[in-house]
Every structure is written in structure tokens, then in C-alpha cells.
A and B are shown apart, each in its own frame.
Chain A
Amino acid sequence: MKLAFRIALRFLSSNKGQTFLITLGIAIGISVQIFIGSLIEGLQISLLDTTIGRSSHITIAASEKNEPFNDYEAVLNQLSNQVEKMTPTLTGGAFIKTDDKTNQILLRGFDLASADQIYRFSEAVLEGGRLPAPGTNEVLMGVTLSEDYNIEIGDALKILSPAGQLTEIKVVGFFDLEVAAINASWVVSGLDLSRTVFDFDENQVTALESQIEEPFDSDLIATQMQTDVNREDLRFDDWKAQNEALLSGLSGQSTSSLMIQVFVVISVVLGIASVLAISVLQKSRQIGILKAMGINDRTSSLVFLFQGFLLGILGGLLGILFGLGLLVVFSKFALNPDGTPVVPIFINYRFMMLSGLIAVVSSTFASIIPALKSRKLSPIEVIKNG
């Protein structure tokens, strides 16, 4: 085994040009695989972040639509171990009165401290604004809504509930959540204000909204929550059920990325196999003489398996470096007009390690045919034919 490794190493180092070319071939293949894989992954993460990064993954609401449910704190406490980010909300349709007009809005009362983890209002608040203080009548307003009705920070307005109750509110800021429908309709307040407007009890909310670590597990976790909480008056909605088109788009993208990667790896394997097969012919004289001197068939085939293995390691390492280089170049030069990368690149070290491993496994695999050829080679052919 040691001898086979030594001979393999010497064969590779004595023919540096050829070794370099094969290594480069593997490296380019692997770097393309890493680049495409990371690009698609980056694209999906960014798409997912844009789509559901600022929304609830699992929403717990009353079974009966638009109705509040009781004892929300019990549910919140029960699930606090399973879900990191969870916030109660009291939401309802209402109207705001500006001058002589009355406009429909969606009043979203939140526990702002925990809601901020999901909606990141503090980042979305535009200059000059701030988050409403709890226990006051302060609100944040969607930026489009404010523009549509000429509302300015500090304005005092009246909000009208469907039940006809009028409550005075004070605008302390505008937000831009980058979703037109939200920016044009949401008015965000603390829970207390919303409770006053809609005249709900202290222990009532309309929903508990949450975000989880692995958004793709939302259906499983939602089912688990439902079992744990075991309340018939509640329903558990997960984002996946409501975004099937997006999910099928993402899965199509993953499949096509995988296909490209598979074909790149296949072409790398074929390349290595054909070059190593030629190298068996080149080295047949040496293999023949080694066999005449008593090397056994196993060792003579190991020489080529080790060559494949070593080329895989070299090509894999170089491929990872090239791949990282390509990603850096892409994220530096392919930019949006505002200077941000067209596709934000996420460097996934596990994926890179996996690609390196693929390089090693596939090039060792590619050396099986040359190894078998070497095994079959008879010393007498070399001695007779020179």
C-alpha cells in the first residue's frame, strides 16, 4: 500500500505538466459546481428572506375568523420553549378620519418588543420617526398611507372602530416594510391602544405570530404545536400552506441547480477517467517491469487509484479556492445600482467541504477503470513488445 502510494506520487510528480492539467480540470469543474450551488442557495435565501423574512411563519388564531381568543398568555408560555420568536397581536380593520375623509386601515396592535424581532420595525422606521411607547396612544404608519393622506409626524388623528368607537391617536413615525400592500394599509400600535379601539378584554388577542429557525419545517412544527396546545378554539396556519407557488418555484430552482451540478461532476469524472486511462498506456512499460519484479495485481491497481485520489484532493482544494474566488468576484462586480450585490452570496462551508469530498470520491471512482487495466496488464506484453 505504501509502495503503491509512493509510486503514484512519483508518477504524478514526474509528469508535472499533465498532473497540473488534470488538477486544473477537476478544480474548474468543482469551482463551477461550488459557484452555481452557492449562487442558487444565495438566491433562495434572499428570496425567502424577502418573502417571509418579515412575516409570521406560524400563526395561531381563533378558529372563527376575525374573532379574538382568550388566555393567550397560557399558550405563549406553553410554546416559549419551542419557538424563539413569538408575539401576540390584536389586529382589526378600522378607519382613520383625516379632515373630512374617512379611510380604511388595518390597525395592528403588537407587543412591540417581541414583534420587533419578527417585523424589525425599528429598522424599517424612516428618519424622524420612532417606535410608539407602550401604554400610550402613539402609532406608526405605513409610508404610502401617510403620503396618500398627507399625514405628518406629530399629527393627531381619530381612529374609528367598526363598532363606532372613536379613539384619538398620535403619529410618531412612518415605516417602510418594502411591501406595497402593508405600506398602504398598516397602522401599528401597542397592544393596549388596539385593545381600547376594539374593546377587547385583557387576556384576548386575535393571533399569536411566530418565526422559527427552519422555515421549511413550519408545517411539522405547526402540527406539533397544535397537538401540544390541544385547544379546539384555535387554528394553526403555516406559511407554506399559503405560499405553494413560491415553494414550487424554489423546488424547481433547486432541482435545476442540482442537475447542473451533477452534469458538471459527470464531465469531471469522464475527463479524469480518460486522462488516467491514457496514463496507464503511458506507464504500461513501468507497470510491466514492476510486475516482472514481483509487484502483485492489487498493488499495481492501487497505483492508479491513489493517483485518482491524490488528483481529487489537489483538484478539490484548488476547486474550493477557485470557487471562493469566483464568488468574491461575483459579489464585488455584479452589483445593483445601489451598490448591493445582485445576488447576496452565502458561503456555506459544509457545501464546500461536500464539493471537495465529491472531487476526491469522483476522481478515485474515475480511476477504477485505469486501475483495472493496470491490474490486467501482463508483464510479458511489455517485455516482448519493448
Chain B
Amino acid sequence: MDNIINLSKVSKIYGTAVKTQVLYDVDLAIKPKSFNGIIGASGSGKSTLLNIVGTLDRPTFGEVEINGIRTDQMKKNDLAKLRNETIGFIFQFHYLLPEFTAFENVLMPHFIKGQKFDKRMNDRAHELMELVGLSKVKNNLAGNMSGGQQQRTAIARALINNPRIILADEPTGNLDSETTEVIYDLLRDINKKLETTFVIITHDRRIAEKTDRIIEIKDGRIYNDFSRI
């Protein structure tokens, strides 16, 4: 089976006057429908790696292929379209739009896609909110919800356009351990039901151990790569 994410010899250097190299010739291939964890110490380069995979950042050297398309030389607006249709993001700090309700936040990637909002979409948004257990607060403004509710809204939002890949950067970083457990079970569930590929950064080894594959990053290089499947 072809890889859905393919990184070859990816390096990232920040700064012009003072240069800081964050990634060194990273080769990484992710299989479709897999559930992957990335672990590593702070400053090891794991977030940079995820941002490059998510096309939010560009590699200084190397090639990036998402869903069979080279992305490292694509134009900004083409990248935006690719992100909208292929990738769902879940960030540590939720990054919801506080001016919109939970329901509107969930639908935002669909609105960005520029397609009409019909009954089918309305049903889908409701289903997703039910899936993440948010039916009761869907009309709350994003700012008026608890951390766990916001994170679940972000998960439903990441799923709305049926992306093939979901990238999550410490999605439970600021949640208590009980909620963390619930959220991971939810992500795992989605992975099985919708066959979405997951790449998740986590600090929590216990969580990482629940994934199909653990990739450990150290000093900008892949230090360990352990796969259960």
C-alpha cells in the first residue's frame, strides 16, 4: 500500500543571521489508516515535523509528499486548499474561533471549502457533535465552554471535511487525565470507524503506548521507530 505521508531527507533551519537547525535529514513514511504517536523532549523538533507534514511550515531542504502530491514547492493558496480537504488539525490550545458557536466552529472547514450548507451537512455536523458528546452545548460560543468541550469541538471540526489525515499536537496537553483517556479512546474509535490516518504528538508515554507506531524524535532526528503493525 502507498504511504499517505512521505518525508524524504527533510531538514529545517530557522533564522538567517543566527542559524538554528531543528530537523536533520528526516525520512518518514506513514501508512494510510494507521494511528501514529510522536514522542520526544521539548525542543526535539517534533512540532516542527508535524507542522511540515501539515504544510503549515516548509522544509529548508528535502521533499514532502501528502496523499501522493509533492507539497514543499506548492503555492500558498494551493496548500490552503490541500489542508482544507485532506488534513484535519487538532492543536493543544484548541484554537477555536471565540466569535462563533461550537456548531459553527465545527462547520468552518466546510464553509471554507465553499460548498453549500444543506440538510446532509447539517446532519453530519450534528452526528459528529454527538460522536464527540457535545450535542448539548453546540450553540454555546466557543469561549463559553470547558477545556474538554473545546477540545472535543476541535476534534469534530477536524473531521467535518472527511480528511484522510488528522494531525494532533498534544491534543490533551492541558486536560486532566480522565478527560485525556476519554479523548484518546475517541480518537482511536474514529480511526477505526472512519479509517482516518492519525499522527499525534504526545508527552504521555502511557498514551503513546496505545498507538500502532511510536516514533521518537531526539535532537531533530528519528531516534526510535517502533511499530506494532
Contacts and interface: CB of A to CB of B under 8 A. Distances in A.
A290 B108 contact: yes
A10 B99 contact: yes
Nearest to B114: A3
B212 interface: no
Interface in B113-135: 113-114
Interface stretch (A48-56, A217-225, A292-300): A292-300
Nearest to A3: B111
Which secondary structure dominates where chain B touches chain A? helix
Given A293-B109, A293-B157, A380-B57, 10 more contacts: A10-B99, A289-B97, A292-B95, A294-B80, A294-B82, A294-B113, A297-B80, A379-B56, A380-B56, A386-B93
Chain B: number of interface residues, binned into ranges = 20 to 34
Please give me the 6 A-B residue pairs with the lowest Cβ-Cβ distance, nearest first: A294-B84, A14-B99, A289-B95, A294-B83, A296-B77, A10-B99
Interface string B69-92: 000000011001111110001010
B112 A383 contact: no
A6 B97 CA distance: 13
A297 B109 CA distance: 15
Interface string B124-164: 00000000000000000000000000000000010000000
A17 to B, nearest CB: 14
B98 interface: yes
Interface string A266-306: 00000000000000000001101111111111110000000
Most buried by B among A285, A293, A298, A382: A293
B51 interface: yes
A296 B80 CA distance: 6
Contact of A292 (B56, B76, B81): B56
Contacts, number: 68
Interface of A: 3, 6-7, 10-11, 13-14, 285-286, 288-299, 379-380, 382-384, 386
Contacts of B93: 386
Interface of B: 47, 51, 54, 56-57, 76-77, 80-85, 89, 91, 93, 95-100, 108-109, 111-114, 157
B56 A383 contact: yes
A383 B111 CA distance: 21
Most buried by A among B56, B82, B96: B56
